[in-house]
Amino acid sequence: MTPPLQKPKRKNPILRTRLPVPPPQARSRYALGLLRGAAQGRLELQECRDCGQVQYPPREMCRRCLSDRLDWKPQPEDGELISETLLRHSLELFFRERVPWRTGLVRLRGGVTVVAHIHADVPPPPARVRVRAHLDRAGQAVLVAIPERDTPNMADDKIMREMTCDPKFRKVLVTDGKTAVGQALVKALAKAGADIVWVGNAEPWKNFPGFDEIKSIPQVTLLNLDVTDQRSVREIAGEIAGRVDIVVNNAEVHRTYGISARYGTDAARAEMDVNYFGLLRLAQEFGPALKARGADGVNSAVAWVNLLSIYALANFPPHGTFSASKAAAHSLAQCLRAEMRPTGVRVINVYPGPIDDEWNQLLLPPKIAPGALANAIVNALRQGTEDVYPGDVAQDWLARWRDNPKALEVEASNP
Amino acid sequence: MNRRASYDGIVVTTPVSIPYVRFSIRAAHWWIGRALAELIRDSHIEKGHIDGFCVSSFTLAPDTAIGLSEHLGLSTRWLDFVPLGGNCGVVSLRRAARAVQSGDAEIVACIAGDTNHVDSFRQGTANFSRFARDAVYPMGAGGPNQSFAYLTDYYMRTFGAEPADFGKMCVAQRQNALKIPYAMFKKPLTMEEYLGARLIADPVRLFDCVMPCAGAEGFLVMRRETAEAAGIKYARVLGAIERHAAFQSDPIQYRGGWALERDELYGQAGVAPADIDFIQVYDDYPVINMLQFEDLGFCGKGEAPAFVRANTLTVDGTFPSNTSGGQLSVGQAGAAGGMLGMVEAIRQLTRQTIGGQVPDAALGLVSGFGMINYDRGLSTGAAILAAA
Amino acid sequence: MNALVQFAKELAAGRIRVVDLTQTLAPDFPTITLPPEAGQAWPFRIEEISRYDDRGSAAYWNNVSFSEHTGTHFDAPVHWISGRDLPNNAVDTIPAEHFIAPACVLDCSKQAAQDPDYLLTVDFVTNWEKEHGRIPPRAWVLMRTDWSKRTDPVAYQNYDETGQHTPGPDSDVVQFLVKERDVIGFGTETIGTDAGQAFHLNPPYPCHYFMHGAGRYGLQCLTNLDLLPPTGSVIFAAPLKIKRGSGSPLRVLALAPA
Interface probe for A, chosen from C45, C50, C55 (most Cβ of A below 10 Å), is C45
* Residue type present at position A174: V
Which parts of chain A register pLDDT below 70? 415
Helix ranges (H only) for chain C are 3-12, 109-114, 122-132, 153-157, 171-179, 206, 212-213
pLDDT averages per 10-residue partition of chain C, 258 residues: 92 96 96 91 95 95 97 98 97 98 98 98 98 98 98 94 95 98 98 95 96 98 98 98 98 97
Kindly list the residues from chain A whose CB atom is less than 8 angstroms away from the CB atom of residue B200. Answer: 88-89
| CATH number of the CATH domain containing C102 | 3.50.30.50
ipTM over 0.90: yes
Cis peptide, bond prior to residue A123, ω within 30 of zero: no
Sign of the Cα torsion C191, C195, C199, C204 reads negative
pLDDT tens, residue by residue, A61-120: 999 999 999 999 999 999 999 999 999 999 999 999 999 999 999 999 999 999 999 999
Domain spans of chain A? 30-156, 171-413
Classify domain A171-413 by CATH number: 3.40.50.720
Angle, helices B340-349/B88-102, rounded to nearest 10 degrees: 60
Domains of chain B: 10-119+214-234 (3.40.47.10), 142-210+235-387 (3.40.47.10)
Cis peptide, bond prior to residue C203, ω within 30 of zero: yes
Cβ pair A228:C40 closer than 8 A: no
Report the C-alpha gap between B321 and B324 in whole angstroms.
9
Cis peptide, bond prior to residue B83, ω within 30 of zero: no
What beta strand segments (E) does chain B contain?
Answer: 10-21, 52-56, 78-81, 108-114, 199-201, 204-205, 214-223, 234-244, 278-280, 363-372, 377-387
Alpha carbon separation from C25 to B234, C67, C248 (Å, rounded): 97, 12, 12
- pLDDT, mean over chain C: 97
Residue A83 is nearest to which of B142, B145, B252, comparing CB atoms?
B252
Q: Would you say residue C225 lies in a domain? A: yes
pLDDT reported for residue C135:
98
Sequence-distant (≥ 6) Cβ neighbours of residue A284 within 8 angstroms: none
Cis peptide, bond prior to residue B62, ω within 30 of zero: yes
Sequence-distant (≥ 6) Cβ neighbours of residue A392 within 8 angstroms: A353, A366
Task: Please indicate if any CB of chain B lies within 8 Å of the CB of A127.
Answer: no
Kindly list the residues from chain C whose CB atom is less than 8 angstroms away from the CB atom of residue A204. Answer: 153-154
Chains that touch C (3 or more CB pairs under 8 A): A
Find out whether A120 and A144 touch, Cβ atoms under 8 Å: no
Task: Please indicate if any CB of chain B lies within 8 Å of the CB of A84.
Answer: yes
pLDDT per residue as tens, chain B (388 positions): 567 999 999 999 999 999 999 999 999 999 999 999 999 999 999 999 999 999 999 999 999 999 999 999 999 999 999 999 999 999 999 999 999 999 999 999 999 999 999 998 988 999 899 999 999 999 999 999 999 999 999 999 999 999 999 999 999 999 999 999 999 999 999 999 999 999 999 999 999 999 999 999 999 999 999 999 999 999 999 999 999 999 999 999 999 999 999 999 999 999 999 999 999 999 999 999 999 999 999 999 999 999 999 999 999 999 999 999 999 999 999 999 999 999 999 999 999 999 999 999 999 999 999 999 999 999 999 999 999 9
Give how far B298 is from chain A: nearest CA, Å: 26
Sequence-distant (≥ 6) Cβ neighbours of residue C2 within 8 angstroms: none
- Cβ neighbours, 10 Å, residue B117: 15
* Residue type present at position B367: S
pLDDT reported for residue A303:
98
Task: Please indicate if any CB of chain A lies within 8 Å of the CB of C185.
Answer: no
Cβ pair C27:A229 closer than 8 A: yes
Cβ pair A90:B140 closer than 8 A: yes
pLDDT reported for residue A210:
83
Find out whether B264 and B243 touch, Cβ atoms under 8 Å: no
Q: What is the CA radius of gyration of chain C?
A: 19
Number of domains in chain C: 1
Report the C-alpha gap between C124 and B139 in whole angstroms.
83
pLDDT reported for residue A298:
85
Residue A34's nearest CA partner among A1, A4, A64, A75 is A75
Q: Would you say residue C8 lies in a domain? A: no
Q: Would you say residue C216 lies in a domain? A: yes
Find out whether B87 and B372 touch, Cβ atoms under 8 Å: no
The domain in which residue C86 lies consists of 17-33+67-257
CA dihedral C179, C185, C191, C197 (to 10 degrees): 0
In chain C, whose CA is at the least distance from the CA of A224? Answer: C28
Alpha carbon separation from C168 to A49, B62, B330, C117, C191 (Å, rounded): 76, 84, 97, 8, 10
Find out whether B110 and B93 touch, Cβ atoms under 8 Å: yes
Give, as one character, the DSSP assignment of residue B212.
Answer: B
Angle at B102 between CA B99 and CA B103, to 5 degrees: 85
Angle, helices C171-179/C122-132, rounded to nearest 10 degrees: 50
Residue A313's nearest CA partner among A299, A296, A297, A330 is A330
Kindly list the residues from chain A whose CB atom is less than 8 angstroms away from the CB atom of residue B140. Answer: 87, 90, 95, 101, 103, 117
